[in-house]
Amino acid sequence: MDRLRRLDVKYIKGVGPRKAELLKTELGITTAADLVRHFPTHYIDRTSIYRIVDFAGEMPSVQIKGRFVSFTTQGEGAKMRLIGLFSDGTRVMEIVWFRKIKEIRKAYTTGVEYVLFGKPTEFGNRWSMVHPEIDTAASAVQAGLRGVYPLTEKLRGRNFTSRTFYTLITGITESRTWSVEDPLPESVLQRLRLMSLGEALRVIHNPKDNDSLQRARLRLKFEELFYLQLNILRYCRDRQSAIAGFRFSRIGNYFNNFYNDCLPFPLTGAQKRVIKEIRADMGSGKQMNRLLQGDVGSGKTLVALLCMLIALDNNTQACLMAPTEILATQHYATLRSMVSQTGVNVRLLTGSTGAREREEIHAQLEDGSLHILVGTHAVIEDTVKFHNLGFVVIDEQHRFGVAQRARLWKKNVIPPHVLVMTATPIPRTLAMTVYGDLDVSVIDELPPGRKPVTTVLRTDDHRQAVYRHIGSLLRQGRQAYIVYPLIKENEKVDLKSLEEGYETICETFPSYRVAYVHGRMKPAEKDYQMHLFATHQADILVATTVIEVGVNVPNATVMVIENAERFGLSQLHQLRGRVGRGADQSYCVLMSKNKLAKETRKRLEIMTSTTDGFLVAEADLKMRGPGDIEGTLQSGMAVDLKIASLATDGQIVQIARDAAGAVLDDDPQLARPEHYGIRREMAALFDRTVDWSRIS
Ligand code: ADP
Ligand code: MG
């Protein structure tokens, strides 16, 4: 691989400086190693020939075999095109060229048998194919599968085809001198019966049959995931061995008094179990890095508070960090009211905390009289110093990366324990990778008495009925959310529809009070409007997704989501979590346009069929792919997955993780000669990744 990494693509036969530049700007391919790792996305069976007479409906790319009957040109100048009538004996179709007409006309003749590869489309009742790939029948009859390579529009415009890639790449991989040293040790290859790297790279570009193709893909997927897991595991182990944590050995008055006198309701079984898991970590002497997953409304805040009280009992301070000002403020209000009888000093620090108050908070933090600090990112600024910070809670993890957590670890000589809370339920294999450095606890039970939110899909035709339903709930004294999408690219249009929606709502419900928030408002105005709704001085809240995370108004029992088709499933689930927080039956109405694409309808129907966040997340992952989540991953532990997918290759993730673990058990520093190859690969793959264990 090293040799290929050093070989600039422009020196590869058939490339040259101009093509090399295109490959670089369009696909980021700069070396021979990049080129041989430009994999086909799918394959066409070269042995199967379609009959034109059988074409129907939306066709994939296919092969046909026959002869050109005639060639004619139509139009002039830039609009000129060449049309070849092609017959395969079952029917005639049109083959169309817009470019390189002269060359094409010269290269192909009537009467000779060719095999054409391309995507047929239907106009009226005539079939045609534009710029197909063409082989003479004699050269095309090799058996096997032909790869279809990802291309960009620009590459296509410059006459790059799948065939171009095939030729360039197999020119390397099928050459007599092709050989690649396998970085994986014999032991791993043999135990898992993996194909060698050189063989896999050759086969994936030129498979003889499906069986060997699958083995090649498995080898390459495994390898990607193996290095990724190795990187994550090595990092975790380094951290664990390098860093001692606080040992919280006692449960004292803060915890006990609260538990006995102030607990607002009995804990659910899941809450109890999770607290036990966290306690065990905090008492282990190692620094805790734990992820607490729990669906919206599962009661994570109370768990966080109880754990913070344990920290106080062990003479340390605690801190809770939320992603937005609204959330931080709300957490602050909740915690304050819960601990009001206990003598715990809680304060709030955000970007809008005034200078004098900030000074006071800084002073109290440093002399230790402030027990729990709640806030936004403001709490990780370097000017914020604690007397003895022992425990940190981060709410809604996906917005905090490893880098930010690392800053928290520095807040004390002994790094504080960290509990990360998220309502984004992600499947296990993914959690293992994205949050690979965290242990995971799950609250899989909602507090008793909750009724699942009834979710329905409605179109504009039903708008009046939807409004009547809202009206009847408002008359019973309930509150309602109306949510509009506000998506960056289209902000102006969206803002307009939000404003119009607001006016419609005011006109439809003239005797009710309507509040109004969106992300572009000044924070003070936003908070004021939210406050109106939270204190029931407003009955309806018209809002954008700023209310997505964590807002808690149990009296709100209906949410209407406008243009629901524009939201992702996970986001819809988060939004829906704002209702169904009290004992009353709640409703979520997904409004969409009349005509929906099949996929979109299927997506929205998942929402109407289940309220289980894990099911929603899994469906989302399958339909959308793990793009967003891999995005988070890349900010932490960068790797660009080219062939493996965290969404669908869960099993291989597990195998790769086990194999990586076994290698590290055996040779923690990867110092042995047989692991030299792995080290070289890791260095090449992760050279820009920061080693966080060294930072803290
Ligand atoms: P989330 O996990 O979404 O952050 P919260 O912590 O905001 O959930 O809790 C949701 C609601 O459930 C709150 O109103 C909270 O007071 C209530 N709650 C939490 N735990 C329990 C419990 N054990 N029994 C009854 N209600 C609970
Ligand atoms: Mg919450």
Pocket test for ligand 1, best of 259, 302, 547 (most atoms within 8 A of CB): 302
Spatial separation of the C-alpha atoms in residues 688 and 470, rounded to whole Å? 54
Atom index in ligand 1 nearest the CA of residue 577 equals 3
* Over residues 150-168, mean pLDDT: 87
Query: Can you point out the beta strands (E) in 361-433?
Result: 372-375, 389-395, 417-422
Question: Which residues, including other chains, have CB under 8 Å from residue 330's CB and lie 6 or more apart?
Answer: 534, 550, 551, 552
Whether 12 and 29 have beta carbons less than 8 Å apart is answered as: no
Confidence category of residue 692, pLDDT binned at 50, 70, 90: very low
The pLDDT value given to residue 633: 47
- Residue whose structure tokens are 């000074």: 359
Pocket test for ligand 1, best of 296, 552, 553, 581 (most atoms within 8 A of CB): 552
Q: Tens digit of pLDDT for each residue in 357-386?
A: 999 999 999 999 999 999 988 888 888 999
C-alpha of residue 577 to centroid of ligand 1, in Å: 12
- Report which of residues 565 and 497 the model is more confident about: 565
Packed helices 300-313 and 325-338: angle between N→C axes, nearest 10 degrees: 60
The pLDDT value given to residue 624: 65
DSSP string computed for 570-623: HHHHHHHTTSS-SSS--EEEEEE-S---HHHHHHHHHHHH---HHHHHHHHHHH
Q: Tens digit of pLDDT for each residue in 422-463?
A: 877 666 666 767 666 677 888 988 888 788 899 999 998 999
Query: Can you point out the beta strands (E) in 248-353?
Result: 289-294, 317-321, 346-349
Question: Which residues, including other chains, have CB under 8 Å from residue 297's CB and lie 6 or more apart?
Answer: 446, 447, 450, 577, 580, 581
Confidence category of residue 398, pLDDT binned at 50, 70, 90: low
**Beta bridge pairs of residue 483:** 543, 561
Q: Give the number of the ligand closest to the Cα of residue 577.
A: 1
Of 175-179, 427-431, 510-514, the range with the lowest mean pLDDT is 427-431
Confidence category of residue 77, pLDDT binned at 50, 70, 90: confident
What global pTM score does this model have?
A: 0.66
Closest C-alpha to ligand 1, atom 25:
447
Atom index in ligand 1 nearest the CA of residue 334 equals 16
Q: Give the number of the ligand closest to the Cα of residue 293.
A: 1
Atom index in ligand 1 nearest the CA of residue 395 equals 4
Strand 587-592 with 454-459, pairing: parallel
In the predicted model, what is the mean pLDDT of the chain?
Answer: 86
Task: Fill in the DSSP letter of residue 31.
Answer: B
Strand 556-561 with 587-592, pairing: parallel
The pLDDT value given to residue 595: 85
Residues with CB under 6 A from ligand 1: 265, 267-268, 271, 294, 296-302, 423, 447, 552, 554, 581
Closest C-alpha to ligand 1, atom 23:
267
Q: What's CA 525's distance to the chain center, in Å?
A: 32
Q: Give the number of the ligand closest to the Cα of residue 303.
A: 1
Q: How far is CA 570 from CA 47, 214, 394, in A?
A: 43, 32, 20
C-alpha of residue 420 to centroid of ligand 2, in Å: 11
Q: How far is CA 159 from CA 65, 132, 345, in A?
A: 23, 11, 69
Element (H, E) at 295: none
Residue 578, pLDDT > 50, answer yes
C-alpha of residue 268 to centroid of ligand 1, in Å: 10
Spatial separation of the C-alpha atoms in residues 515 and 65, rounded to whole Å? 67
Pocket test for ligand 1, best of 258, 259, 262, 265 (most atoms within 8 A of CB): 265
User: Rounded to 5 degrees, what angle do the CA atoms 346, 578, 516 make?
Assistant: 90
Spatial separation of the C-alpha atoms in residues 223 and 684, rounded to whole Å? 14
SS3 assignment, position 71: strand
C-alpha of residue 376 to centroid of ligand 2, in Å: 14
Whether 92 and 116 have beta carbons less than 8 Å apart is answered as: no
C-alpha of residue 635 to centroid of ligand 2, in Å: 24
Spatial separation of the C-alpha atoms in residues 317 and 366, rounded to whole Å? 10
Q: Give the number of the ligand closest to the Cα of residue 552.
A: 1
Spatial separation of the C-alpha atoms in residues 423 and 426, rounded to whole Å? 9
Confidence category of residue 691, pLDDT binned at 50, 70, 90: very low
When mean pLDDT is compared over 57-66, 405-414, 584-593, 612-621, the highest value belongs to 584-593
Q: Give the number of the ligand closest to the Cα of residue 550.
A: 2
C-alpha of residue 690 to centroid of ligand 2, in Å: 31
> Could you list which residues have their CB under 5 Å from ion ligand 2?
550
The pLDDT value given to residue 687: 62
Atom index in ligand 1 nearest the CA of residue 266 equals 23
The closest alpha carbon to 453, from 562, 299, 547, 579, belongs to 579
The closest alpha carbon to 619, from 634, 630, 608, 631, belongs to 608
Q: What are phi and psi of 421, to 5 degrees?
A: -110, 135
